[in-house]
Structure 1
């Protein structure tokens, strides 16, 4: 666990936050305009690949160019007091803690020893944040940009012109967030009194929700702190807190990690269906003799990964089925029945309500699918699916339309996509072969999280009110208000019911709350007093 992050010095209205994701590290500069109360955002360059791919020798040169770029965004008089925060996410979570610490120590040493770095760099501000923090920050970011939260984290009154209309059924002023990255996926949404009571009932005594991992093969558990129980029936008022939101973070369910698991599953499936003679040949050194059919690959596309040749067959529904099989392998059985609300690992969560903003790869995969449908319609290649393009023009199509779209876009010939300009530069060429799988993964996650097939409460966005939707904005808002949020200023530290990270399948004993921790002491004192009273009574009776 990490100590509380240092707040920006009063003399510097700027804060630098680096998002060290699984595929790269991008720098952001944030500033609060005191007069208007608005947050000003500047985006810096992205360093690739991810921080987790660096060594102690390379991490300094890897980060230095991005940090130096921030010098052009901050006036000279504020640079010395401007803090640098480096927050790593899912990619670093896969590394052992000692390797993480070594990288952060090396990064700190490089940045502080360089005379070219004019900013305030403190070791405790270089860290890995957990999935709950990442989801909470995403929720703060999208709600601030949508005009639902002020920079002081107070809920704003409903006004016309906000990014998403108010939910008429729930009257919930806050929207939820869905994020999909290379190594993890998150869902987070506001839970009012009824939701939180149901959440606490479902939690029981099994331990607070902690980050689940595909590799670990377990289910995250839930518990409630004494503070949460006391706050369930408290009405609105004051800044929102982390415990006002329900969040699930799925480590290993990001696009890159799921692709690795999918490829392993396709190879295993083919071997199961291979005759004994061919199975023996496949197990020999000529491991890649038989090409593997990949329903998540486009027709006409071949890829070789670790000596295995994958042939794209372009079938969206079969791709989703294969992804679903990988997910079910980790669900410890299918625990969800109709009418229940279960997350991807079979653990119950409160009923979804209100609107959600889907960001990250959710948006990029969706936007790609929209573009392909438009290209196919212009070429007359949609056939009977001609109305699907109009159905997907809105940023919030229903789930059934997205599922229908997977079949259409995944069936495209790879050569057609190249001709239509989907591989015009090196980055597009690198990403294009995986777009079908990414789109199917995004749709599969919506289905597994329990979104209704006919409702359109999920809005796929890259920007909100002309600002990019990134969780780092939420982290800045959190830092800005950490003195006013009821002790929620410590990144990476949980409520009193969760003082240590409980890895999946290895659950620590449930800690006692503030009041509960003294219960054994009072019980012992009570026993002593009762014993003394009985002894006095016996002696008085003997004298009488």
Structure 2
């Protein structure tokens, strides 16, 4: 079986200079726009008098999550399969989690499948090989109706991801998934494993690897699963780099399926949610336009996605922005700040033996961070210390974000969002629809709004935190102003203060998120949005949507038992 390193219709690679425009062979890098605005912005926040910044020593990088799972380094010894484990006999009703399930090999919804050729219970495995880590979703379905119905999931994650530079070989990278697949062995009853499909879908991070590295890793993953584990690798495309278009649409399906807006029994014309997913290397937006103006049209192109789901048709707008995930946005901002500093003081630090220190308004005041700056033209890397000094501020950082987002790029098919990408006007096509923000949106916003409200994290409940776009700006303003501002807003909440101290770029992150919503997609400041991580104890994101498509395809095959 041939393993493709990527989906065929997603050809653009992410580069350090930002993504190219859709529908054009010309690539407009954000630095070209940066040069035009550098002098003006430099005057705004570089030329003011301030005390010389000190070089930061031994700063810990925050390029990925700083709190890896505690079990990452522990040896994995799978316990006996749960099909052999006794469950409490007192449970009644339909289980919503593995722990509640009296018998994982059966279902409480019916005693026999709707068709003789279908299994009563179907498990499916989806591994999300992201840029900052890998995650497995073990999903349970039943076939009591005409199509597979979802019951619950078991979730486990590990860091770093397949694309991490710590792996010495493709085989070592592939072995990093063992802890996840061992969890699947623990959960899936032994009698059902050979008919349990597994798919590994890498997202934007793996596209950054040079040469054949990404293909080598994917081939090694496929080989390891086939040789070591009893599950059936999905055919075709069991191990691939996922199309960004599919990533966004599957995330939309997941959220709207769990929110009961697109199921077979959902009333016709039920409004759907727009889903905005922010990963490490890319970000996606998907929504169902409903034009209030009868003269408005939805232009044809790759952004238009026709979806048949639950017996209904949906015409979606979707786009995946490579290079505008949170970690890539950070890298672009640091490159731009370094570039402007070099204009202000050419040659500074060239003879120094310690990293140069550069004032950066996108770091919280009084914080520092050591970062690597990549010059792709010269193929060199240097280390600098970014210092929020007393210049960190939402307004100054926002001016840098505006340049990174290339809002003034040539718009060949109007209207455009940013970077020259066509998008129907939100005001015309989604004026009052509900908006759901996922992934890094939740990770950065929820701890702050939950602490302010005096509530615990909402990561285990339905979408909870209802806020407006302007709320994100308000959070960013206080985060960027440093510790005194943190204490004034969040009191002596030790956990929040420690998190903010440990992530100086939280100022940058929130400012970028606000810029993405307000400047990029053009949501109004008063627009209501919700953030979420789980619905019905199920992780949001593209995985459930992709798995529903996999088990609903009707051509699942079982693995031959040796």
TM-score, scaled relative to structure 2: 0.65
Number of the residue aligned with 1:498: none
> 1: distance between equivalents of 2:214 and 2:294?
35
Give the SS at the match of 2:266. coil
| 1:258, distance to aligned residue in structure 2 (A) | 0.9
Number of the residue aligned with 1:102: 216
> 2: distance between equivalents of 1:394 and 1:474?
21
| 1:67, distance to aligned residue in structure 2 (A) | 0.3
The reply on whether 1:239 has 2:311 as its aligned counterpart is yes
> 1: distance between equivalents of 2:206 and 2:295?
34
Pick closer, same or farther for the CA change 1:422–1:315 going to 2, 3 Å.
Answer: farther
Pick closer, same or farther for the CA change 1:240–1:89 going to 2, 3 Å.
Answer: farther
- Structure 2 stretches lacking a partner, 5+ long: 1-5, 9-116, 373-382, 455-462, 557-562
Instruction: Pick from 143, 146, 157 the counterpart of residue 46 of structure 1.
Output: 157
Matches within 5 A, 1:178-193: 178-191=276-289
Instruction: Pick from 322, 330, 335 the counterpart of residue 259 of structure 1.
Output: 330
| 1:260, distance to aligned residue in structure 2 (A) | 0.9
Number of the residue aligned with 2:125: 16
| 1:35, distance to aligned residue in structure 2 (A) | 3.6
Q: In terms of mean alpha carbon deviation, does 15-24 or 72-81 score higher?
A: 72-81
Pick closer, same or farther for the CA change 1:477–1:289 going to 2, 3 Å.
Answer: closer
| 1:237, distance to aligned residue in structure 2 (A) | 8.9
In the alignment, is the contact (CA less than 8 A) between 1:422 and 1:432 conserved in 2? no
Give the SS at the match of 1:32. strand
| 1:194, distance to aligned residue in structure 2 (A) | 8.3
Number of the residue aligned with 2:493: 420
| 1:465, distance to aligned residue in structure 2 (A) | 3.6
In the alignment, is the contact (CA less than 8 A) between 1:192 and 1:244 conserved in 2? no
Pick closer, same or farther for the CA change 1:418–1:361 going to 2, 3 Å.
Answer: farther
Give the SS at the match of 2:525. coil
> 2: distance between equivalents of 1:451 and 1:333?
21
Matches within 5 A, 1:377-416: 395-413=465-483
Matches within 5 A, 1:457-496: 458-483=529-554
Pick closer, same or farther for the CA change 1:394–1:479 going to 2, 3 Å.
Answer: closer
Number of the residue aligned with 1:120: 232
Number of the residue aligned with 1:332: 409
Instruction: Pick from 167, 170, 173 the counterpart of residue 59 of structure 1.
Output: 173
RMSD of Structure 2 on Structure 1 (CA): 3.6
Matches within 5 A, 1:125-524: 125-150=238-263, 154=264, 156-157=266-267, 173-191=271-289, 200=298, 202-203=299-300, 208-209=301-302, 239-240=311-312, 244-274=315-345, 279-282=346-349, 284-286=350-352, 290-306=356-372, 307-312=383-388, 313-328=391-406, 332-333=409-410, 341-352=415-426, 353=430, 354-371=433-450, 373=452, 395-413=465-483, 420-422=493-495, 432-447=503-518, 448-456=520-528, 458-483=529-554
Number of the residue aligned with 1:31: 140
In the alignment, is the contact (CA less than 8 A) between 2:128 and 2:134 conserved in 1? yes
TM-score, scaled relative to structure 1: 0.67
Give the SS at the match of 2:175. helix
Give the SS at the match of 1:433. coil
Structure 1 moving runs of 4+ over 4 Å: 9-12, 192-200, 287-290, 333-336, 371-375, 414-419, 428-431
> 2: distance between equivalents of 1:449 and 1:310?
29
> 1: distance between equivalents of 2:157 and 2:551?
24
Number of the residue aligned with 1:525: none
| 1:61, distance to aligned residue in structure 2 (A) | 1.8
In the alignment, is the contact (CA less than 8 A) between 2:367 and 2:501 conserved in 1? no
Pick closer, same or farther for the CA change 1:324–1:194 going to 2, 3 Å.
Answer: same
In the alignment, is the contact (CA less than 8 A) between 1:185 and 1:250 conserved in 2? yes
Greater C-alpha Rg? 1
In the alignment, is the contact (CA less than 8 A) between 1:135 and 1:248 conserved in 2? yes
For this pair of structures, how many residues does the alignment match?
408
Pick closer, same or farther for the CA change 1:133–1:265 going to 2, 3 Å.
Answer: same
> 2: distance between equivalents of 1:248 and 1:84?
26
In the alignment, is the contact (CA less than 8 A) between 1:266 and 1:294 conserved in 2? yes
Give the SS at the match of 2:503. helix
> 1: distance between equivalents of 2:294 and 2:551?
26
Give the SS at the match of 2:398. helix
In the alignment, is the contact (CA less than 8 A) between 2:466 and 2:530 conserved in 1? yes
Give the SS at the match of 1:291. strand
> 2: distance between equivalents of 1:362 and 1:133?
20
Map Cα deviations across residues 14-37 of structure 1 (whole Å, 9 max, x no partner): 000001111000000112133486
Map Cα deviations across residues 462-505 of structure 1 (whole Å, 9 max, x no partner): 22244331210111122233359xxxx9xxxxxxxxxxxxxxxx
In the alignment, is the contact (CA less than 8 A) between 1:14 and 1:78 conserved in 2? yes
Pick closer, same or farther for the CA change 1:122–1:196 going to 2, 3 Å.
Answer: farther
Give the SS at the match of 2:138. strand
| 1:422, distance to aligned residue in structure 2 (A) | 3.2
- Structure 1 stretches lacking a partner, 5+ long: 4-8, 159-170, 210-221, 376-392, 490-544
> 2: distance between equivalents of 1:270 and 1:137?
42
Give the SS at the match of 1:244. strand
Number of the residue aligned with 1:493: none
Pick closer, same or farther for the CA change 1:193–1:439 going to 2, 3 Å.
Answer: closer
